[in-house]
Structure 1
Amino acid sequence: MSKFFYGIEDLFVNYLFAPLDFFRFMDSWWGANSINWIFMIIGFVAMVYWMGQLKIFNESGEEDKSISSHSYL
């Protein structure tokens, strides 16, 4: 069973996270954290889009908001 976990370690350390080793040795803080900022911007844009979609469906009045909408309630 230990070989299974060593295989998972090898996959992540040597293959999937290998491109991130480039950012570890940069002298610039902004350069090293650029990938984090990109993910934060993508997440923020996705959240704004999702909130906009929720607002559209909330204003259209399509959803059944009654308390007895489910049989177990």
Structure 2
Amino acid sequence: MRGFFEGVQEFAEATLFAPFNALAEVELSNWWLANGVNWIFMLICAAAIVYWIMEIKKYDANDTEYREAKAHGFLGKNSELESNI
């Protein structure tokens, strides 16, 4: 069993963690490049947030969302909602 777990360790260190080891080498050699990778990830996240907010505004502008306080059955009975069903 020891050989099996050492094989798993070798596979994880050599293959699965290779990208992390490469980033560690980049960080040691060039600080600006390592932080550039972080900025790229932050820009991707910012773009996703802007897209999400634009989609929310689009659905809000259509005014198709049912905003009654008792829109869900588990919150209580709503006579208007039940009459439409």
TM-score category (smaller protein):
0.7 to 0.9
* Secondary structure of the corresponding residue to residue 70 of structure 2: helix
* Secondary structure of the corresponding residue to residue 35 of structure 1: helix
19, 42, 46: which is aligned to 1:40? 42
% same residue: 35
Q: Which has the higher contact order (CA 8 A, sep 6+)?
A: 1
Aligned residues: 70
Residue type of the alignment partner of 1:19? P
Residue type of the alignment partner of 2:16? L
Task: Note the C-alpha offset of 1:72.
Answer: 0.9
Against the structure 1 CA distance between its residues 50 and 20, is the aligned structure 2 distance closer, same or farther, given a 3 Å change threshold? same
After superposing on structure 2, the runs of 4+ consecutive aligned residues of structure 1 that deviate more than 4 Å are: none
With normalisation by structure 2, the TM-score equals 0.64
Task: Note the C-alpha offset of 1:57.
Answer: 0.4
Tell me, yes or no, if structure 1 residue 63 matches structure 2 residue 68. Answer: no
* Secondary structure of the corresponding residue to residue 67 of structure 1: coil
* Secondary structure of the corresponding residue to residue 74 of structure 2: coil
* Secondary structure of the corresponding residue to residue 33 of structure 1: helix
With normalisation by structure 1, the TM-score equals 0.72
Q: Contact 1:23 / 1:31 at 8 angstroms: preserved in 2?
A: no
Task: Note the C-alpha offset of 1:58.
Answer: 0.8
Q: Tell me, which stretches of 5 or more residues in structure 1 are unaligned?
A: none
Aligned CA RMSD, in angstroms, stands at: 2.6
